[in-house]
Amino acid sequence: KMTKPADSRLVLLGNPGVGKSECTYRHTTMVDDENVSMEILDTAGKGESIHQEGNINWGEGFLLVYSTTDRESFEDIVNLHQHIASVKKTQNFSCVLVGNKNDLTHERKVGQEEAEQLAVDLSCCFFECSACDGGEAVDESFKELHRDVVRRRMVNSMRR
């Protein structure tokens, strides 16, 4: 049986422990009244995988995930973004910035405002979420990334 290719290929990136899970999965959901399928690749953190370049080449959109309780994971996002740009050979790629674990209010090390500023610098959307709380914001970050992938695809095809 032939499987229809996913409508977008999304990749989770971020330091170990920030709250990604461990598999590639297909996620079907409604985005702007359309039923879309996203293929989502979960990856190991930097230095954990030698396959990262393959993952980045494969992906069309990237969730840059840090933990609101882990400053280093936030500071490493800039390097992650640069790394994707160097693999993709362009700054023009889809990504969203995701600060996870915001349920751990007493362990917060990264402010919301500085993360919003980083998102401005990277020209992307920003979401804070908790993977534990049922993940409504997680879902919204995937949808927004999907929208950006589709938007960028359309713009790039008109350029050609």
Contact window for ligand GDP (CB under 6 A) among 86-94, 97-105, 113-121, 148-156: 97-105
Task: Tell me if 92 sits within 8 A of 40, measured CB to CB.
Answer: no
Q: Is 98 helix (H, G, I), strand (E, B) or coil?
A: strand
Choose between 89 and 106: whose C-beta lies nearer to ligand GDP: 106
CA dihedral for 87, 88, 92, 94, sign (positive or negative): negative
Other CB atoms within a 10 A radius of the CB of residue 63 amount to 25
Other CB atoms within a 10 A radius of the CB of residue 62 amount to 27
Number of residues that bind ligand GDP (CB under 6 A): 14
54 sits near ligand GDP (criterion: CB under 6 A): no
Q: Choose from Mg ion, ligand GDP, none: what does 130 bind? Cβ within 5-8 Å by kind.
A: ligand GDP
Q: Choose from ligand GDP, Mg ion, none: what does 141 bind? Cβ within 5-8 Å by kind.
A: none
Helix and strand element counts for the chain (H, E) = 5, 6
Backbone φ, ψ for residue 91 (5° rounding): -85, -10
Contact window for ligand GDP (CB under 6 A) among 79-87, 90-98, 127-135, 145-153: 127-135
Choose between 34 and 75: whose C-beta lies nearer to ligand GDP: 75
Q: Choose from ligand GDP, Mg ion, none: what does 17 bind? Cβ within 5-8 Å by kind.
A: ligand GDP
Amino acid sitting at position 104: L
Interacting residue ranges for ligand GDP, rule: CB under 6 A: 14, 16-21, 100-101, 103-104, 130-132
